[in-house]
Chains A and B, each alone.
Chain A
Amino acid sequence: MNQHENKITGLTQGAIRRGWQASVLLLAGLITTALVALHTKSEVDVAAKREFDFVCNEIKTKILDRLSAHEQILRSGAAFYEDDDGVSREEWRRFTERQKVEQHLPGIQGIGFALLIPPQNLAQHVQEIRAQGFPDYHVWPDGKRESYSSVIYLEPFTNRNLRAFGYDMFSEPVRRAAMERARDQDAAALSEKIVLVQETEKNVQAGTLMYVPVYRFGMPHDTIVQRRNAILGWVYSPYRMNDLMHGILGGWDLTDQKQIRLEVFDGEMVSADTLLYDSQPGETQRMGTLKSVGVHGDSVSGNRQTGGLPHESRLTSQSKVVSNGRPWTLRFTRTGSLSAMTDYGKVWLVVFGGTSVSLLISGLFFVLNTRTKALQMARELSTKLAQSEQSYRNQFASNSAVMLLVDPTDGTILEVNAAAVSFYGYSRERLLTMRISDINTKPLAEALQIVTSTLSEQGHRFQFQHRLANGALRDVEVSISYIQFGGRSVFHSIVFDVTDRKLMLEAIQESEIRHRSIFTVMAEGVVLQAADGTITDCNLYAEKLLGLTRDEIKGLTSVDPRWRAVHPDGSPFPGEDHPAMVSLRTGRACHDVLLGIQLPDESRRWLNINSEPMVRKGETQPYAVVSSFSDITERMQSEVALRESEMQFRSLFETMTEGVAIHELVRDPEEHAVDYRILDVNPAYERQTGITAAQAKGQLASQIYGTTPAPYLDVYEQATRTRVGCSFETYFLQLQRHFEISVCIPKPGFFATVFMDITQRKQSEAALRESESRLRLSVQAANIGLWDWDLVTNTVYYSPQWKSQIGYRDDEIANRLDEWQCRTHPDDLEPKLQKIRACIENPQGQYDIEFRLRHKDGSYRWINALADVLRDADGKPVRMLGCHLDITERKKADEALRQSEAKLRTALASMTDAVFISDVQGQFIDFNDAFATFHRFKTREQCAKRLAEYPDILDVFMPSGELAPLEQWAVPRALRGETVTNAEYILRRKDTNETWVGSYSFAPIRDKNGTIVGSVVVGRDITERKQAEDSIRELNRTLERRVQERTAELRAANEELESFSYSVSHDLRAPLRHVHGYVEMLAMEADGHLSEKGRHYLKTIAEASEEMGVLIDNLLAFSRMGRTEMREASVDLDVLVRETLRDMDPTTSNRNIVWKIPPLPAAQGDSAMLKQVLANLLGNAVKYTGPRNPAEIEIGCEGEENGRAIFFVRDNGVGFDPQYTHKLFGVFQRLHRADEFEGTGIGLANVRRIIARHGGRTWAEGAEGKGATFYFTLKVTSTLAQTQRNESQL
C-alpha cells in the first residue's frame, strides 16, 4: 500500500505545479480512498479472525467429541466386563470387533483390559493365563510390588499390541496416576504423555492412555473407599497421538494447503517435553518465546500475538481443553499466506478503484485545465492503471477462494479465477462465455433480483446451488459485493462450497426427524425424565404399555405409587430403584432391569427397562434420563412355561432310572457311518455304565467303549437312516451287563439310546429257575405236607410228607377226604370245616388255621394249614391247594412261654413290691396289684396308666426333702438309661397328704440293638423300715451316752479297786512283817526258854505269816495283770519257752523230766504276759509231776480254732478229777490240798485272764492220776512251716 501511496504522492506533486485545485480534488479522493481501504481491511481482518476462530473451534470440538466417543466405547467395554463379571478372551474379541472402532474412530490403537492382581494371586493368575495357550506369558516388568496389574486382553491382538501382553501398567508412575484417578473418581481418565510399550524403534510417537475403571459385579462403589475395594481392573485404550489426531482431523492436517498449524500439549505447559502432536512438525516453532496463555475453562479464546512479531497479521490461538480429567493445551497458528486465507482482494479493489476514481476526477479536472498535460498524464495514468489492474488481476487470479465477477445487469460472467476454474470444472474461456444462470440453479432474473434487491454497499451472503461442469450440484454460500470493474459496478462473488456443511445439516435435521419418528413409532416405550425424575415426554408405545395417555404420563415420576411396581419375585420395587432414578443418581446407564407394573385395568405387565443418563459435556450430573422399555409379559410367561417344560424334561432326564445317551452319527466322506459321538448322558447312564458324563461327552463311542466298530453301530445307523426307532436286548460284553436298549431318532443324524440295565432281571430269571428246583427240594426237606383237593371231582391228593408228618408211609393213607377228617381232633374239626367253607365261598377269605391231627402213635400233632382256592374264569372255585406245617414244637414252646409268663405274672401279683413297666412314652404297659397299693389307689383299675398323670396325683421329694421334678423320677431316669438300686424318694398324695417313703430300683429295657424301649421299676414301701431305722439311730445315740456313763462308773470302780489294792499291798503286808519279825525276835530272845511245843508254835506263826505274804503278793500280781496295758508284738515262743525253763532251773535241776519241745510258731501278743502263761503252765506241770519218775512234759501246737492256733502243755502228772474242770481256772480254786502241792490257786486264773485278754480260750483235759493237758489258743504271725523255712534259710 505504501508503494501505491508513494506513487500517488509523486503524482500529486506534479499536479500542484499545474493546479492546486486538481491536487486538492485528488488529495481528497485519495484520502477518501485510503480511509475506505483501511476500513475495508479492518473488516476483512475481523472476518479472517472470525474464520480462524471458527476453524480452531471446529478442531477443538472435534477433538473433544472424539475423546468423548472413545470414552463411551471404553465405558461400554467396562459395562460389558462388569455386568458379566469377567469375560473370556473370545468374548472380549467379539465385543471389540462389534465396536468397529477402526471404521468409526480411526486412530485408536486398541481396546484392552488390565486386570488388577493381588500379590498372593499372582502365581495362580500366571498359571491360568498360560493354561489358555500362552506358555510364555508373564507379568512384566519383574520384581516384587505391593500389587500387580496385567494387560490380559488387548484387541486387535496383533502386531504392536502383542508387546503389551502381560505389561503391568500399574508399575509405571504416569500410567498408575491415571489408573488411580479413574479408579477413585469412577470416571474415564487420560494419562499424561507417555511412550507406549507398543512403540518400535521407528516412527516413535507421543502416546497417551485412557482408562475406565471396572468394578466387581455387585459391589458398591459410591465412595472412594468402596471403589478401591471393588476395583477389578481397567478397560483402556492406548493412543499413538499422531494416529489419533489424524483420525480426529480426518486428514485435514495432511493436506498441502493447511494454513493452520495445530500443536497439542499435555497439560498447561507449552514445551517440547509436553508436545503431544504437531500438525506441521517440520516448521520450527517459536518455542519458548511464546508464553503459555492457557485459559481456564472449556472455552476457546483467541489471542492475537503481536508483541515482537514482524508479521502483524499472523494469528495464533491457544486454548485449553479438559478431557477425562486431563488438560490439553491446543495452540493454533495460522501459517498460510495472507491472501490465501484472508480476503484482501476486497481491500485492493477499494484501493484500486478509489484511487482510480480520484485520479480520473483529478485527471479530468487537470485535463480541463491543461489538455496536453492531461493527455500525457492520461497516458501515464492508463499505464499505471494498467499496472494496477494487472496487480489486482494477479491477486484475483491467485486467490484460492473461488471468485467470480458478474455483470449485475445480465448475469454475464466477466471474470473468474483459477480456483473457480478448478471448482466448476469449466475452462476460463468457457466460463467467460457463460451467464451466472448457467451455473446457478435459479433462473437468471430471479437470481439477479435476489442479489440486487438485498445487496448493499457492505455486501451480503447468499445461499445458492451451483451446478458444476460434471453436472454435480453444490450448495454454495456466495459473498457478493459491488466492485468497479471496467468502469462499471459489477458483482464480485466469492463462492464457498457449503455442500458438505449443508449435507451435514440436512443429515442432522433428517436424523432428528427420523429419530423423532422412530421415537414416536418405535415398538418400545420411551420416556424422558428431567433431572428431578419428572416425566417430560414419552412416545406412543409408552402410552400403550403404561395404559395412560401422554398427558397423563407427563408430570408423573418413577416413584409414583400408582405403578405398584414389583420385582420378578413379587417383592415391591421401590421407585427409587427404578433404572431411570438410578441413572439420574449415579450418572450410569442401567440395562435390562425387569419390572412389573400394575396397569389401570389391574393387569400385570412386565417391562424390561434400559435407561441412559444424559450428561452435558463437562458436567457430571445428568440433566435428564431416557428410559426405554419393552413389554416382555408374554416372553416372561412363555419363558416361565419354557423353563418349566425344560426343567421337567431336564429333571426327567436327570432322574429317570433308564440310562439315556444322545449321540451324533459320525460319517466318513463317503457318507458311511463309521462311529458315533456321545453328546450328552444322564446320571443313570453314569450309574449304569460307570462312565462319568465328563468322560463320555464329546467322545467317540469306539474310544469310550473300546471297540471297533462302535457297539451296535449297524443298528443305530439303520435306525438313524430310516428314522425308525427300535429296541433290543443285549449282553454288553465291555460292561458285562445285560441291557435293554431303545433307540429313538430326535432329528436326522442324531439318535438317542435309552437303556435299562436288565442284568438283575436276567440274573433273577436264571435264579428263579434255580429256586424252583430248590423249592421243591426244600419242601421235602422242611417237612411240608401238601394237599390238593379237586372241588369238582371231590378227589384229594396228599403228598408223602403230609402222611409222614403223622407217622404214616405213603401207602398207608388213601387219597380220600375222610382220611384227614377222621384224624382231626374232635374239638378242631368243626371250626376247620367252617373255615374251609368260608374260604371257598369268599374269594377274599384266607385259609390259615391251626388244628390237631392224630399221629399214628396216637398222639396229636399240631398242624398249621395254609391253603388257597383256585377259581375258574367265572370265579367258581375249582381247586383248593394247601400245605401242612408241623408246629407241635412251636406250640409246646408257646405253651411253655405262656406258662412262664403266667408264672411271672403270678409272681408279680404276689409281690409286695410295686412293679411297673413303661414304654418310652411313659405309658405303663404293665403293673401288679402292689402298684396300686404302693401308690395308695384303692383298686388296680383306679391307677393312672400314664406317667404324665402322676404329677397331678403325687408330690415326689428327694430324701433331702427337695421336691423332685418329673425328670428326676424313676421312670424318666430309667428311660435315660440309668440303672439304680434302692433310690429313695418320699411320696405324698396330693389329695390325702398321706406321705410314705419308697425305695426304687429301676433299669431301662433295651431291645436287641441296645435301644431303650421302656423301663422297669420296682418300688418298695420302706416307711416302716425307715421308722425302725430312726428309732435304732435314736437308741444308738442314747446307747453311747449310757456307755459313757457306764464307763465313768467303771473307771470310778477301778480307781477304788486300785486304791484297795494299794492298801492291801501296803497295809496288809506291814502287820505280816511285824508278826514275822517279832516271832523271829521272840525265837532268838527265848530260844533257850521255850519248850519244844513252844518253838513249834512260834514256827507255825512264822510259816502262816509267810504264806499270807505270798498270798497277798500273788493276789496283787493277779490284780495288776488285769490292769496292765498290753503291748502287742510278734512273740517268739521258742525263746520264751527257753527263758521260762531257765528260770525254773532251781526246781527242775534235781528232777528227772523228759521234755518234748518241738519248734513253735511265733505268736501275736504281749511278751511278758505270755511268759507268765508259760511260767504258770510249765510250773504247774513240773509241780504236779513231782511224784513221777521220769516226769514227761510236752509242749505243742496243733490245729486251730477261730483263726487261732491251739497250743497245749501236757504232763503225765497226777491229773485231776474232770468233774471239777470248771473250777480249775477260778481264783483261789485248788483241786489239791496244800500239803500235797503248794500253791495259791492264782496261777491258772492268771493264765485264763491273760489268754482271754489276747482273745483266746483256755481249757483243760485230764483224769485223776492220768496226767493233764492244758490248752490255750493264740493268734500266730507265722505258721510253723514258715518258721521252719525261715530257720532252714538261716
Chain B
Amino acid sequence: MMITVKRILLAEDSDRDAELTLEALAQYNVINEIARVRDGSETLDYLYRRGQFVSRPVGNPAVVLLDLKMPKMDGLEVLRQMKSDPQLRLIPVVVMSSSREEQDHLMSYELGANAYVVKPVKFNEFVNAVKQIGAFWALINEPPPEPHVG
C-alpha cells in the first residue's frame, strides 16, 4: 500500500539524535520527505522559506518535531514565534526533549505545543516513540488546510 507521505520538519541540533530519529522513522518505512534543521533560526528560515530555504517547495510541513535545547534560538522561542504567526500557528508541533523538567513541559503546552515527548533512553523505546509520532502526524492526522499564499 502506497501511503501519501507528507513532509516532516525535524528541528534537532544533535546529529546523533537526528540520525537515531531518522533511523527510527526509516524502520517504520515511512517513505517521506524529512527536512532537518539544526537550530531555531534555521527552523524559522525553513518555515518562512528564506535564507538557504528560499527555493524549497511551497507548503507547510505536516508536523514539526522540535527539540527544545538548541543553539542560537531554543525550541521554546521557535514555538512562541510560530504560534504567534497566523501563517504558522496551525502547524502541529511535537516537542521532543530529553528533559522531564516541569518548567519545559508546562511552558511548551502554554505556548501551544500539540504534544510533548520525552526521549526515552532505551533505543527500542525511542524507536517506538518516534515511529508512533511519525505514523500519527504524518499519516493519520489530517493537517490543517494550507493557507493561500500570495
Contacts and interface: CB of A to CB of B under 8 A. Distances in A.
Interface of A: 1061-1062, 1065-1067, 1069-1070, 1072-1074, 1076-1081, 1102, 1105-1106, 1109, 1113, 1116, 1120
A1106 B123 CA distance: 10
A1078 B16 CA distance: 9
Contact of A1073 (B23, B100, B120): B120
B2 interface: no
Nearest to A1080: B123
Contacts of B20: 1073-1074, 1077, 1081
A1077 to B, nearest CB: 4
B14 interface: yes
21 contacts: A1061-B101, A1062-B101, A1065-B100, A1065-B101, A1066-B69, A1067-B98, A1069-B98, A1069-B119, A1069-B121, A1070-B14, A1070-B119, A1073-B98, A1073-B123, A1074-B16, A1076-B123, A1077-B123, A1079-B123, A1102-B123, A1106-B121, A1109-B122, A1113-B100
Interface in B7-58: 14, 16-17, 20, 23
A1073 B97 CA distance: 12
CB-based closest 7 A-B pairs: A1109-B121, A1080-B123, A1077-B123, A1069-B98, A1077-B20, A1074-B16, A1066-B99
A1106 B122 CA distance: 7
Interface string B110-130: 000000000111111010000
Contacts of B98: 1065-1067, 1069-1070, 1073
Contacts of B100: 1065, 1113, 1116
Nearest to B103: A1062
Interface in B85-103: 97-102
B69 to A, nearest CB: 6
Contacts of B16: 1074, 1077-1078
B121 A1065 contact: no
A1120 B99 CA distance: 13
B17 A1074 contact: yes
A1068 to B, nearest CB: 9
Contact of B119 (A1073, A1079, A1113): A1073
B121 A1105 contact: yes
A1120 B105 CA distance: 14
Contacts of A1080: 123-124
A417 B102 CA distance: 173
Interface of B: 14, 16-17, 20, 23, 69, 97-102, 119-124, 126
Nearest to B121: A1109
A1072 B118 CA distance: 14
A1070 B123 contact: no
A1067 B120 CA distance: 13
B134 to A, nearest CB: 16
A1066 B97 contact: yes
Contacts of A1069: 98, 119, 121
A657 B97 CA distance: 123
A1076 B124 CA distance: 9
Contact of B17 (A1061, A1070, A1105, A1106): A1070
A1077 B101 contact: no
B39 to A, nearest CB: 16
Contacts of B122: 1076, 1106, 1109
A1076 B97 CA distance: 16
A753 to B, nearest CB: 121
A1077 B126 contact: yes
Contacts of B23: 1077, 1081
Contacts of B101: 1061-1062, 1065-1066
Contacts of A1067: 98
A1076 B99 contact: no
B26 to A, nearest CB: 11
A1116 B119 CA distance: 16
Contact of A1072 (B69, B121, B124): B121
Given A1070-B14, A1074-B16, A1074-B20, A1081 B123 contact: yes
Given A1074-B17, A1076-B123, 12 more contacts: A1061-B101, A1066-B98, A1070-B119, A1072-B121, A1073-B17, A1076-B122, A1079-B123, A1080-B124, A1081-B20, A1106-B122, A1109-B122, A1113-B100
Nearest to B16: A1074
A608 B32 CA distance: 154
A1080 to B, nearest CB: 4
Nearest to B23: A1081
Given A1073-B126, A1077-B126, A1062 B99 contact: yes
Nearest to A1120: B102
A1076 B69 contact: no
Could you say which of B16, B121, B122 has the most chain A C-beta atoms within 10 Å of its C-beta? Answer: B121
A1061 B98 CA distance: 13
A1116 B102 CA distance: 12
A1077 B126 CA distance: 8
Nearest to A1117: B100
A1074 B121 CA distance: 8
Nearest to A1062: B101
A127 B101 CA distance: 112
A1020 B99 CA distance: 68
Contacts of B14: 1070, 1074
A1102 B126 CA distance: 14
Contacts of B102: 1120
A1087 B116 CA distance: 34
Contacts of A1077: 16, 20, 23, 123, 126
A1067 B100 CA distance: 12
A1120 B100 CA distance: 11
Contacts of A1076: 121-123, 126
Contacts of A1078: 16
Nearest to B99: A1066
Contacts of A1102: 123
A1070 B16 CA distance: 9
A1072 to B, nearest CB: 5
A1070 to B, nearest CB: 5
A1112 to B, nearest CB: 8
A1072 B119 CA distance: 11
A1062 B102 CA distance: 10
Interface centre among B16, B99, B123 (most CB of A within 10 A): B123
A1072 B14 CA distance: 13
A1065 B124 CA distance: 20
A1062 B100 CA distance: 9
Contacts of A1062: 99, 101
A851 B121 CA distance: 112
B11 to A, nearest CB: 15
B79 to A, nearest CB: 17
A1113 B122 CA distance: 13
A218 to B, nearest CB: 106
Contacts of A1074: 14, 16-17, 20
A108 B86 CA distance: 136
Nearest to B14: A1070
A1113 B120 CA distance: 11
A1077 B69 CA distance: 19
B120 to A, nearest CB: 7
Contacts of B17: 1070, 1073-1074
Contacts of B120: 1073
A812 B14 CA distance: 131
B104 to A, nearest CB: 8
Nearest to B69: A1066
A1106 to B, nearest CB: 6
Contacts of B123: 1073, 1076-1077, 1079-1081, 1102
Among A1067, A1077, A1080, A1106, the one with the most B-chain Cβ atoms within 10 Å of its Cβ is A1077
A1069 B119 CA distance: 9
A1136 B69 CA distance: 38
Given A1066-B69, A1081-B23, A1073 B121 contact: yes
Contacts of B97: 1066
